[in-house]
Every structure is written in structure tokens, then in C-alpha cells.
């Protein structure tokens, strides 16, 4: 199995001003490409050959294969959850109902999710995931980890590694996190439920 870059459903400049073309060029074009290249060079001849990134993340121990598989999975979910002009500002259907049930309201969910993303020390990710019983969870994952490792299914992820926002926001992580809500394609996220 060869791991590949996801095809962006938008032009590299389409998410401006939230995410600049320069950030997409570096974050997607260089950082993610490096993770994909690394994974393709690390996996052949190992017990992970032929496995999906989800399978690798679920079972691999900490180390180079896990780190690169985690970042490939994380970034695939991340880049495909955006749209230049989303059709709606919050989720509907099963996901919308689950958010209201588990967090009280969409606004309260956003507040808790933002706190997780901004409060993560160092590099990592904030995730909204669902467990096998349909309950939603907000988790903070350090470095390249993913909720798959805990048996959860990731639905929405915010990258808070500095390379995801520093060109546009410098040290203003909270501004970056707040701006991302304007480009979430809730139709895509709802289908992950």
C-alpha cells in the first residue's frame, strides 16, 4: 500500500483570510508531504505493511511509524473538513443533536473545544470524537496522536502545531482557533459521525 496526499477540494488560496495560501503551501505542500513520504519509506518490510493509517495509529507503539501515520491521518481529516464558503455555521442532524445532548448547546461545545485547543501545551491537536456508544468526547492529543488510539472515531480536529498558524497569526493561537470555525464544512464532519 502506498500512502498518498489527499486531494484538496479547494484552491490553495480559497481559505483566505482564515488560512493563507502561503500557509497551505507550507503546511499541506511541505509538512504533510514529508509525513506521507516518511511513512512510505518506513512501512515497507514491517508488520504495518498493507495497513491503513487508522490501523497503524491504533496499534503502533510510539516511534517514527506511529508519529508519521498519526500526522498523515490527522492532516487528511484536517484539510478535508474545510470549505471556503460552508453551507451552514453549525452541524445539524445526528451530530447537531449529539452536541446539544453532550455539551448542552453548540455555543457551549465551541467554548469547551476552544479551551482544549488553546490550552494544549506545546504541539498537538484538539479533537471532537465519538465513542462506540455514540457519546461525543473532546480530547487534547499531543504531537501526532489521534483519538483512534483510544478507540474513538475522530470527527473534527484543530491543528495547534505552530506550523499550522504561525505565518498568519504568529503567537496568537486563540485567534487562529476562533477563525477556523468560519471554514468548517459541517456537511463533511456530519458524514464522519
List residues forming the annotated binding site for Mn(2+). 27, 75, 159, 163
Q: What would the grid cell of residue 159 be?
A: 491543528
Cβ atoms of residues 141 and 147 within 8 Å:
yes
Q: CB-based contacts of 18: which residues, under 8 Å, 6+ apart?
A: 179, 180, 182, 183
Query: Per the annotation, where are the binding residues?
Result: 27, 75, 159, 163
Cα–Cα nearest to 130, from 193, 184, 76: 193
Amino acid at each position: 500500500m502506498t500512502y498518498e496526499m489527499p486531494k484538496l477540494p479547494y484552491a490553495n488560496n480559497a481559505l483566505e483570510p482564515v488560512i493563507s495560501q502561503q500557509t497551505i503551501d507550507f503546511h499541506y505542500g511541505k509538512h504533510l508531504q514529508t509525513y506521507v513520504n516518511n511513512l512510505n519509506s518506513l512501512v515497507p518490510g514491517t508488520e504495518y505493511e498493507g495497513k491503513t493509517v487508522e490501523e497503524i495509529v491504533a496499534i503502533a507503539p510510539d516511534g517514527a511509524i506511529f508519529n508519521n501515520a498519526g500526522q498523515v491521518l490527522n492532516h487528511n481529516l484536517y484539510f478535508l473538513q474545510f470549505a471556503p464558503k460552508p453551507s451552514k455555521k453549525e452541524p445539524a442532524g445526528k451530530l447537531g443533536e449529539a452536541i446539544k445532548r453532550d455539551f448542552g448547546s453548540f455555543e457551549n461545545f465551541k467554548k469547551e473545544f476552544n479551551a482544549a485547543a488553546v490550552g494544549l501545551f506545546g504541539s498537538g491537536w484538539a479533537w471532537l470524537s465519538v465513542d462506540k456508544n455514540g457519546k461525543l468526547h473532546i480530547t487534547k492529543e499531543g504531537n501526532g496522536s489521534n483519538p483512534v488510539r483510544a478507540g474513538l472515531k475522530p470527527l473534527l480536529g484543530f491543528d495547534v502545531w505552530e506550523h499550522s498558524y504561525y505565518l498568519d497569526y504568529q503567537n496568537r493561537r486563540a485567534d487562529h482557533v476562533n477563525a477556523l470555525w468560519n471554514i468548517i464544512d459541517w456537511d463533511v464532519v456530519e458524514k464522519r459521525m
